[in-house]
Structure 1
């Protein structure tokens, strides 16, 4: 069965806990070319886009769900935003939980809206990542 409106509301299990470390934050900031001193040291905060690291792990559950018949090679990432309660900090241990929020089927295209709740292991909300994906279905043989 291909992804359909019936899948709206499906929530996947949380990702394995991820610990935000000073090394990972510093590496991420360096990859961005951002020398902001807030991103260095044992009390650092992570750049806002660091949340994409966690979101990417959660998206795997969506793309690997055999019931949805999605193929990553046929997906275009159309939109992304992050809504923050606070920035991620060194020492945070967090999980990411994906929910399918919207599915529209238009001909051979699926438009999928998904949100990912990023929370600490103490259940404190940190951020929500919201994305829209465009998926083209393979032509029938």
Structure 2
């Protein structure tokens, strides 16, 4: 059964805790060319995009869910918004959880609104809201 409105509300299990170290923050900052000294040393804070390190594992749970019938090659990332509750810090253990908030089916297109919560223990760190457009494979395309 392909994704449908009935999948709204589905929440996937949190990702395994990801320990954040000052070294990992510095490596990430180096990789993106970020030179701010706040991203160095024992009290380092991570660049905002660091949440991708843990969040991509959470998104994979949704994209790889066989019940939804999604194919990454037919998905366009339409929109994403991040709300940060606090910075990621060295010493945090991050986990991410994805929830399908809404699904709209329009012809051969699925419009999927989903949210992601990144936490450090019980403390919220970041909330992301995203919209994906998924094109269903038509009978002609699969023949």
Asked if these proteins are the same fold (TM beyond 0.5), I'd say yes
Tell me which stretches of 4 or more aligned residues in structure 1 moved more than 4 Å: none
CA distance in 1, matches of 2:109, 2:23: 41
- Kindly state the Cα deviation for residue 105 of structure 1 after the two structures are TM-superposed: 1.0
Q: What residue number does 1:6 align with? A: 6
Q: What residue number does 2:87 align with? A: 87
CA distance in 1, matches of 2:111, 2:21: 35
CA distance in 2, matches of 1:5, 1:119: 27
- Kindly state the Cα deviation for residue 106 of structure 1 after the two structures are TM-superposed: 1.2
**Alpha-carbon deviations, 1:15-71, whole Å to 9, x = none?**
000111112211211122110010111110000111122221100110111110001
Q: What residue number does 2:52 align with? A: 52
**Alpha-carbon deviations, 1:106-135, whole Å to 9, x = none?**
1111111111111112x1111111111111
- Kindly state the Cα deviation for residue 3 of structure 1 after the two structures are TM-superposed: 0.6
Root-mean-square deviation over aligned CA pairs: 1.0
- Structure 2 unaligned blocks of 5 or more: none
> Matches of residues 120-131 of structure 1 in structure 2 within 5 Å?
120-121=120-121, 123-131=122-130
SS at match of 2:62: helix
- Structure 1 unaligned blocks of 5 or more: none
SS at match of 1:52: helix
Q: Say how many residue pairs are matched.
A: 140
SS at match of 1:70: coil
Q: What residue number does 1:76 align with? A: 76
TM-score (norm 1): 0.95
